[in-house]
Amino acid sequence: MKTLRHNNRKYYLRKRLQITENFIENYISIERDDEISKKAIKAINKENPILGFIYGIWLLPIKIICFFRDKIWQNRYRKTCKEVEIIKKELESCE
């Protein structure tokens, strides 16, 4: 009975490791896409700085919300990276 629980635990940990690693890959991909979008906005604002300034003021509340949203997601990313480390240690101890 103990080996059955042990095997179930290993299976669960492997599955969770796979899911968390997929989250990390997706997060990195989304961050790269966001960087490209930010570079495009900066390039547009350099072409027409007055309009860029007006949009910057007009969209300031949205930018503040996005800043905090990004910080929340960065925290989730760091937490997930730590989870991967812990899960790998758990898997090593199970073997």
Q: What angle do CA 4, 8, 12 make, to 5 degrees?
A: 170
Contact call for residues 94 and 5 (beta carbons, < 8 A): no
Query: What are the pLDDT digits (tens) for 53-63?
Result: 998 899 999 99
Task: Copy the structure tokens of residue 7.
Answer: 């095997």
> In which domain, by residue range, is 56 found?
2-94
15, pLDDT greater than 90: yes
Q: Give me the number of domains the chain comprises.
A: 1
Query: What are the pLDDT digits (tens) for 35-72?
Result: 999 999 999 999 999 998 998 899 999 999 999 999 99
Burial of 85 (0-12, 13-18, 19+ CB in 10 A): exposed
Record the pTM.
0.80
Residue 22: Cβ within 10 Å count: 10
Rounded CA separation 70/68 (Å): 5
